[in-house]
Amino acid sequence: MVTALLEAVVGLGLLVMPSAVVSILLGVPLDTPGGLVAGRMAGAALVAIAVACWQARNGERDSPATGVVEAILFYNFAAAFVLVYAGVRLGLRSAVLWPTILLHLGLGAWCLLNLWFTRRKLSQVSSTKPEVAL
């Protein structure tokens, strides 16, 4: 839980104010649009790690793999958002920017479907189990 909380604080800081967090952590400013995007991508990855760590503490409730898929779901949608922001608001251009955005959106959708089908299957299994009288 401690790791989850620490990673979440730093990750959210990098997503919201990458220049300030990097300046605090490393003593140098992030002063280019590319640096800001890289800082936000790192923030998304740290928040994803935080989600995985937080979910892993509930191993008895769900499979630890579910926590990992939830973390990767967050990362993919956050990465797509950061990259859209980079292309639309910061004016960054690359031949692979929009294909990368589509890739992250597709991977995020796959994670979402995977979680939905897994939870649906688990609810069907639990509803068909006979109750045991004590």
For 14-64, the three-class secondary structure string (H helix, E strand, C coil) is: HHHCHHHHHHHHHCCCCCCHHHHHHHHHHHHHHHHHHHHHHHHCCCCCCCH
User: Which sign, positive or negative, has the C-alpha torsion 75, 79, 80, 81?
Assistant: positive
In the predicted structure, residue 134 carries a pLDDT above the cut 70: no
Q: Name every residue whose Cβ is closer than 8 Å to that of residue 79 and which is 6 or more positions away in sequence.
A: 41, 44, 104
Q: What's the mean pLDDT in 95-119? A: 92
Query: Using one digit for the tens of pLDDT, what is the confidence trace for 72-102?
Result: 899 899 999 999 998 999 888 889 899 999 9
| pLDDT value of residue 133 | 56
Rounded Cα distance, 57 and 59, in Å: 6
| pLDDT value of residue 66 | 82
Question: For the residues of 54-112, what is the DSSP string, one character each?
Answer: HHHTTTTTS-HHHHHHHHHHHHHHHHHHHHHHHHHTS----TTHHHHHHHHHHHHHHHH
| pLDDT value of residue 7 | 87
| pLDDT value of residue 39 | 93
